[in-house]
Amino acid sequence: MTRIVAGTLGGRTLAVPPRGTRPTSERVREAVFSRLEHLGAIDGARVLDLYAGSGALGLEALSRGASSAVLVDADAAAARVCRKNVAALGLDRCAQVVQTSVDRYLVSAAPADLVFADPPYALEGLDEVLSVVATVVTPGGTVVVERATRAAAVRWPEPLVADDDRRYGETHVWTARRP
């Protein structure tokens, strides 16, 4: 069972796609969001949740004070689950679900203050995605990437600057900021 960890919707359960996704554990989300709250990166933020799966990261951000979130996933089942979660939590006014590839979405993406990228562990081409993300994230904004601990280290393109790098069991989380 996946739940919203904290904020106005803390404790509410989330549906997850039947297969093909790997929801971020509550323990990892709690640690990541504690760090983001410390940085002041959530309150009022426009959030972009790439490879959204269940939408847990974007929805957690909304629960903790973000102003809006766009949940992007190419998989039809994942997009359906995201829509179901948005409706169940009553977030229709501030959350948008987009079913398309991340590459296609980023071509015309609106600026975002906080970007989550939790791609499938087997994804090739993360460097190219982050190059475009670097143009979408606003000055002072934050980018969070989640990968397997066995994956290669994230290489941040300019103007992003590495901020943090933590491991939680089999999960590795990298954070960068745009000055």
Of residues 150 and 137, more confidently modeled: 137
Which pLDDT score is estimated for 20? 65
The fraction of the chain above a pLDDT of 90, given in percent, is 89
At the topology level of CATH, where does 2-177 sit? Rossmann fold (3.40.50)
CA distance to 2, 17, 98, 106, 134, per residue, from 83 (Å): 16, 11, 9, 20, 27
Q: What residue spans define the domains of the chain?
A: 2-177
Q: What pLDDT score does 84 carry?
A: 98
Tell me what pLDDT residue 1 has: 79
CB atoms < 10 A from the CB of 150, how many?
8
At CB < 8 A and 24+ separation, what contacts does 103-106 make? 103/128, 103/129, 103/132, 105/50, 105/72, 106/50, 106/132, 106/133, 106/136
Per-residue model confidence (pLDDT) at position 115: 98
Give the residue-averaged pLDDT of 147-166. Answer: 94
The total number of residues shown for the chain amounts to: 179
φ/ψ bin of 121: left (φ > 0), alpha (ψ from -120 to 50), beta (otherwise): alpha
Residues 94-118: pLDDT tens digits? 999 999 999 999 999 999 999 999 9
Q: Is the pTM of this model over 0.85?
A: yes
Q: What is the mean pLDDT of residues 123-147?
A: 95
pLDDT, tens only, 3-34 = 999 999 999 999 999 876 777 889 999 999 99
pLDDT of 36 higher than 90: yes
Task: Name the band, by pLDDT with cuts 50, 70 and 90, for residue 123.
Answer: confident
What's the pLDDT score for residue 113? 98
